[in-house]
Amino acid sequence: MFIYNLDMRCSTYDQIRADLKPMTMILPMLLKKINIVIDALTIEWITTTSKQSNSDDCGVYAIKYIEFLSIGRQAELVNRFHMRKWKRKLSVELYTLDCTP
Protein backbone atom coordinates (compact mmCIF):
# COMPACT_ATOMS: atom_id res chain seq x y z
CA MET A 1 0.00 0.00 0.00
CA PHE A 2 1.28 3.45 -0.85
CA ILE A 3 0.88 6.94 0.54
CA TYR A 4 1.04 9.39 -2.35
CA ASN A 5 2.20 12.98 -2.17
CA LEU A 6 0.98 14.80 -5.24
CA ASP A 7 1.91 18.37 -4.40
CA MET A 8 5.64 18.88 -4.10
CA ARG A 9 5.32 22.68 -3.90
CA CYS A 10 4.38 22.64 -0.23
CA SER A 11 7.03 20.43 1.33
CA THR A 12 10.30 18.72 0.68
CA TYR A 13 10.50 14.96 0.36
CA ASP A 14 12.23 14.71 3.74
CA GLN A 15 9.48 16.80 5.40
CA ILE A 16 6.76 14.62 3.90
CA ARG A 17 8.56 11.43 4.97
CA ALA A 18 8.91 12.74 8.52
CA ASP A 19 5.29 13.92 8.66
CA LEU A 20 3.89 10.64 7.32
CA LYS A 21 6.14 8.25 9.25
CA PRO A 22 3.68 7.89 12.18
CA MET A 23 0.87 7.19 9.71
CA THR A 24 2.85 4.38 8.09
CA MET A 25 2.82 2.62 11.46
CA ILE A 26 -0.59 3.62 12.86
CA LEU A 27 -2.72 2.99 9.77
CA PRO A 28 -1.77 -0.71 9.43
CA MET A 29 -2.54 -1.21 13.15
CA LEU A 30 -5.96 0.45 12.78
CA LEU A 31 -6.76 -1.59 9.67
CA LYS A 32 -5.81 -4.78 11.49
CA LYS A 33 -8.52 -3.99 14.07
CA ILE A 34 -11.12 -4.33 11.31
CA ASN A 35 -9.48 -7.44 9.83
CA ILE A 36 -7.66 -5.75 6.98
CA VAL A 37 -4.04 -6.83 7.00
CA ILE A 38 -1.42 -5.00 4.96
CA ASP A 39 2.30 -5.60 5.03
CA ALA A 40 3.60 -2.06 5.11
CA LEU A 41 3.03 1.41 3.76
CA THR A 42 5.53 3.11 1.53
CA ILE A 43 5.66 6.73 0.50
CA GLU A 44 5.80 7.42 -3.22
CA TRP A 45 6.69 10.88 -4.53
CA ILE A 46 4.93 11.58 -7.85
CA THR A 47 6.24 14.61 -9.72
CA THR A 48 4.58 14.13 -13.11
CA THR A 49 0.96 14.82 -12.21
CA SER A 50 -1.01 17.80 -13.43
CA LYS A 51 -1.47 20.67 -10.98
CA GLN A 52 -4.70 22.55 -10.58
CA SER A 53 -4.72 25.96 -12.20
CA ASN A 54 -7.51 27.54 -10.13
CA SER A 55 -8.79 27.53 -6.57
CA ASP A 56 -11.89 25.39 -7.04
CA ASP A 57 -10.72 22.09 -8.54
CA CYS A 58 -8.88 20.66 -5.52
CA GLY A 59 -11.77 18.43 -4.40
CA VAL A 60 -12.24 16.95 -7.85
CA TYR A 61 -8.48 16.39 -8.16
CA ALA A 62 -8.48 14.55 -4.83
CA ILE A 63 -11.49 12.43 -5.82
CA LYS A 64 -9.98 11.54 -9.19
CA TYR A 65 -6.57 10.68 -7.68
CA ILE A 66 -8.25 8.38 -5.16
CA GLU A 67 -10.44 6.85 -7.87
CA PHE A 68 -7.56 6.24 -10.27
CA LEU A 69 -5.23 4.82 -7.62
CA SER A 70 -7.94 2.56 -6.19
CA ILE A 71 -8.54 0.91 -9.57
CA GLY A 72 -4.85 0.60 -10.39
CA ARG A 73 -4.63 3.40 -12.96
CA GLN A 74 -1.72 5.80 -13.06
CA ALA A 75 -2.25 9.03 -11.10
CA GLU A 76 -0.39 10.83 -13.89
CA LEU A 77 -3.49 10.38 -16.08
CA VAL A 78 -5.45 12.83 -13.92
CA ASN A 79 -5.07 16.17 -15.64
CA ARG A 80 -6.72 19.54 -15.96
CA PHE A 81 -7.88 18.87 -19.54
CA HIS A 82 -10.65 16.56 -18.27
CA MET A 83 -11.49 18.56 -15.16
CA ARG A 84 -14.56 20.36 -16.55
CA LYS A 85 -16.06 17.05 -17.72
CA TRP A 86 -15.31 15.34 -14.38
CA LYS A 87 -16.84 18.22 -12.40
CA ARG A 88 -20.05 18.02 -14.45
CA LYS A 89 -20.17 14.23 -14.17
CA LEU A 90 -19.68 14.35 -10.40
CA SER A 91 -22.34 17.07 -10.07
CA VAL A 92 -24.88 14.98 -12.01
CA GLU A 93 -24.03 11.84 -10.02
CA LEU A 94 -24.45 13.67 -6.72
CA TYR A 95 -27.66 15.37 -7.85
CA THR A 96 -29.28 12.11 -8.94
CA LEU A 97 -28.16 10.19 -5.86
CA ASP A 98 -31.07 9.21 -3.66
CA CYS A 99 -30.05 10.46 -0.23
CA THR A 100 -33.28 9.84 1.62
CA PRO A 101 -32.68 8.46 5.13
- Contacts for 2 with CB less than 8 Å, ≥ 6 apart: 41, 42, 43, 44, 69
pLDDT of residue 4: 52
The predicted-structure confidence for 36-75, as pLDDT tens digits, reads as follows 888 777 777 777 777 777 777 778 888 888 888 888 888 7
What is the rounded average pLDDT for all residues in the chain?
A: 77
pLDDT of residue 1: 47
pLDDT of residue 25: 82
Q: Which residue has the higher pLDDT, 52 or 86?
A: 86
**What pTM was computed for the model?**
0.55
- Contacts for 19 with CB less than 8 Å, ≥ 6 apart: 11
